[in-house]
Amino acid sequence: MKNKLNYSLLINYKHHVLTLLFIAMIPSMSFSQSAQEIFLESIDNTDPENIEMITTLVIEDANKRQRIRKIASSRKKFGTSQKMILKFIEPPDVRGTSMLVFDHADLTDEMWIYMPAIQKVRRIISADKGKNFMGSEFSNADMSKPNFEDFQFSKLANEVLDGRDCYKLELVCKNPKTSKEMGYNRQEIWISKSDMLSRKIIYFDKHNKPKKKQTLENYKMMGKDKFFAYNRVMENLKNHRTSYMNVVKIQSGSQLAESEFRPEQLSKP
């Protein structure tokens, strides 16, 4: 009798039960982001479009010998193009050497270099985006935002990294051309859940062997809602070289007008 009563109550109130169940599921449904969404969010959090900074780039070989470069840079977005000027401050023999980079969304990137010793500006046309940045283990591709269409995204099992609960994502180059340009076949990224910041990236070669490892540390807030990793370390797991990029000074926004981001301006002090 009692059972019959319970069952009839369930039938009568089934609509309410279903509604309650649905409401209970909403939180988990809305937080179940796709890999691409997680990645986009992390990029969004850490990619101030306009920035000026002084960084120290340390290139260390397998025997721990170091080359140290101090570089001043300014980066600003104009329309769909990101423009960046880099100028060597140290060491003295390369002081004044400058680079100008236009990172276009829809066109091929453009690059110029100025050499103060011979007082010449030259545009560099090179297909290799995977090339080493300033001879370091960071590549030119690492210095700009990735093109999302070039990758397939997937989620791997979450992991705890340095006490932080992290999403672990896999980005696979969609075609061999991209893989060749990037210098790797796929990457695994650890993104901390609490702040959606990339903490570690491992790059894999075409034989699925780990090729490089990047760690990003010491995130600080820039402006209202962006973070910037003050310390980045890229280890080449094959030749045992390491490069360190450490921010010495940084400010959000750039005071430079678009006219300053021109090849002719490189030769000006």
Partner 1 sequence: METIIKYKWWVLSVCLILTALSLWSALSIRINPDIESYLPDDISSKINTDSIESIFGKDEPILLVFNSDDILEPVTLRELFKIDSSLSEQKYFTSKHSIFNAKEIRSEDDMMIVENLIDLSQDGIIDTSTIRRRIRKSLQAYGHLVSKDFTTTLILLNADKQFDGGEIIQNIESILHQFNGEGKFYMYGPLYMRTEAEMKIGRDFMLLLPLGLLIMIIFLFLSFRQKRAVFLPLSVVIISIIISFGIMPIMGWELSIIGILLPVMMIAIANDYGIHFITKYQELSITHQELSEDTIVLHTVNYLKKPVLMTGITTMIGLFGMVLHIIIPAKQMGVISSIGIAVAVVLSLVLIPALMVIIKRKSNGTGFLKRNNFIRRVLVYFSSIIQKKPKQIVWVSLVLLLLTFTGFNKFEISRDFDKILHKDHPYSTAKLLTDENLGGTKNIRLFFKGDVKDPAFLKNLDRYQHELEALPEVGSASSLSTMIREMTKAMNKPESRDYDHIPDSRNAVAQYLELYAMSGDPADLEDFTDFNFEYAVMEVQFKTDKEHTIKKLKTKLEEIVDNDPNYCFMGGYSLIEEQMNRFIAKGQLYSLIFALVAIILILSFIFRSFTAGLLGGLPLIVAVLATMGFMGWLNIELSIVTALISSISIGLGVDYTLHIFWRIKKEIRDGAKYPEAIHTSIISTGYGVTINALSVIIGFSVLMFSSFGIIQDFSILIMFSIALCMLCSLILIPAICIITKPKFLSK
Residues 83 and 256: their CA atoms lie apart, in Å, by 11
Measured from the CB of residue 123, what is the shortest distance to partner 1 in angstroms? 4
Could you say whether residue 174 binds partner 1 (CB under 8 A)?
no
Closest CA to 269 of 53, 93, 97, 73: 97
For residues 81 and 142, give the distance between their C-alpha atoms in angstroms, rounded to a whole number: 17
Check binding of 97 to partner 1 (CB under 8 A).
yes
User: Rounded CA gap, 57 and 99, in Å?
Assistant: 15
Q: How far is the CB of 86 from partner 1 (least distance, A)?
A: 10
> Angle 68-125-87 (CA atoms, 0-180°, nearest 5)?
30
CB 250 within 8 A of CB 110: no
Helix (H, G, I), strand (E, B) or coil at 233: strand
User: Residue 5 forms beta bridges with which residues?
Assistant: none
- The footprint of partner 1 on this chain (CB under 8 A) covers a number of residues equal to 33
116 touches partner 1 by CB under 8 A: yes
**Smallest distance from partner 1 to CB 133, Å:** 8
Q: Using the 8-state DSSP alphabet, how is residue 150 labeled?
A: G
Window 136 to 165, contacts with partner 1 (CB under 8 A): none
Nearer to partner 1, 44 or 264 (CB): 264
65 forms part of the interface with partner 1 (CB under 8 A): yes
Does 91 sit behind a cis peptide bond, omega within 30 degrees of 0 on the bond before it? yes
Tell me: does residue 94 bind partner 1 (CB under 8 A). Answer: yes
99 contacts partner 1 (rule: CB under 8 A):
yes
Contact flag: residue 28 with partner 1 (CB under 8 A): no
Task: Tell me which of 77, 131, 155, 164 binds partner 1, using CB under 8 A.
Answer: 131
The Cα 68–Cα 96 span in angstroms is 15
Nearer to partner 1, 179 or 254 (CB): 179
Binding stretches for partner 1 (CB under 8 A): 61, 63, 65, 67, 88, 91-94, 97, 99, 113, 115-118, 120, 122-128, 131-135, 177, 206-207, 209
